Amino acid sequence: MKKNSIIKTKQITMANVSIYLNFMGNAEEAFNHYKKVFRTEFSAPIMRMKDIPAQPGMPELSEVDKNKVMHAAMPILGMTEIMATDMLESMGHKLIEGNNMTISLNPDSKEEADQLFKELSEDGVECVAPHDEFWGYWGTCKDKFGIRRMFNVSNRV
pLDDT in tens, 79-100: 889 999 999 988 888 888 777 8
> Residue 157 — pLDDT band, cuts 50, 70, 90?
very low
Pairing of strands 47-48, 101-106: unpaired
Nearest to 91, CA basis, from 64, 71, 72: 64
Question: For 73, which DSSP code?
Answer: E
Is the pLDDT reported for residue 9 higher than 60? Answer: no
* Higher-pLDDT residue of 148, 13: 148
Is the pLDDT reported for residue 138 higher than 90? Answer: yes
Q: Return the H-helix or E-strand segment holding 114.
A: helix 110-120
Please tell me the predicted confidence (pLDDT) of residue 13.
58
Query: What would the CATH number be for the domain defined by 14-154?
Result: 3.10.180.10
Is the pLDDT reported for residue 6 higher than 50? Answer: no
Is the pLDDT reported for residue 2 higher than 80? Answer: no
Mean pLDDT of 8-12: 40
Q: Return the H-helix or E-strand segment holding 72.
A: strand 69-75
- Rounded to the nearest 5 percent, the helix, strand and coil shares of the chain are 30, 30, 40
> Residue 4 — pLDDT band, cuts 50, 70, 90?
very low
